[in-house]
Amino acid sequence: MITRLFILLFKLNGWKIKGTVPAELKKAVVIAAPHTSNWDFVYALAIFKQLKLKMRYLIKKDVNFFPLSILLKNTGAIPVERSKKHNLTEQIVRLFNQNEEIFIAIPAEGTRKRVDKVKSGFYYAALGACVPILPGYLDFKKKEGGFGEPIYLSGNKEEDMKKVRDFYEGKTGKYPEKFNLDSFKID
């Protein structure tokens, strides 16, 4: 029900979907970027539902409380504890290995604030599960969101992240000053 409201807001505000998930692609780590606003959640869910994608997504455990937890569970949330190390990357790899079809959206920045370096878990989860990265985006300037072509990782972090940066070049978050394209690097 709530996702219908999200779709209505998406359409009433003049947003369009550009790019989709290739039909043959059954598993991927979906980068959710730029991530600068809580509106990202609303519009991303609207896109997932309109494209009939069974998307799972990471969300901080702090917001997983009743009654919000009902909405989150029903929309694919995977609550994560951010304050401690819990081998999250290994857990994500296990999820991929246990499912025939699964897409997991991960905000690479890990926060809505500006960062100097993205969290590397999305990269290592995709590499460990042998699944591609699917760049997902919301561009508030153009009022469009969707997906780019899957990026199949080579293991060469520099080359792989250059492909990611190239995709996000020119994409504008709701708060552009919070999105740092140069943060897409992994040591």
187: enclosing H helix or E strand: none
Q: Band of the pLDDT at 157, cuts 50, 70, 90? A: very high
- Mean pLDDT (the chain) is 92
How wide is the angle at C-alpha 58 spanned by C-alphas 54 and 64, nearest 5°? 105
Write out the two tokens for 183.
């943060």
According to DSSP, the residues that pair with 59 across neighbouring strands are: 79
Q: Band of the pLDDT at 71, cuts 50, 70, 90? A: confident
- Using a pLDDT cut of 90, give the percent of the chain over it: 74
pLDDT in tens, 11-51: 999 999 999 899 999 999 999 999 999 999 999 999 999 99
Distance CA 93, CA 95 (A): 5
Distance CA 6, CA 3 (A): 5
According to the model, what pLDDT value does residue 110 have? 86
- Mean pLDDT over residues 147-164, rounded? 96
Write out the two tokens for 95.
């999820």
Q: Among 39-53, 79-93, 134-148, 161-175, whose mean pLDDT is lowest?
A: 79-93
According to the model, what pLDDT value does residue 85 have? 67
- Mean pLDDT over residues 137-163, rounded? 97
Q: Give the contacts of 7 (CB within 8 A, at least 6 positions apart).
A: 46, 49, 50
Distance CA 145, CA 19 (A): 8
Note the pTM of the prediction, 2 decimals: 0.90
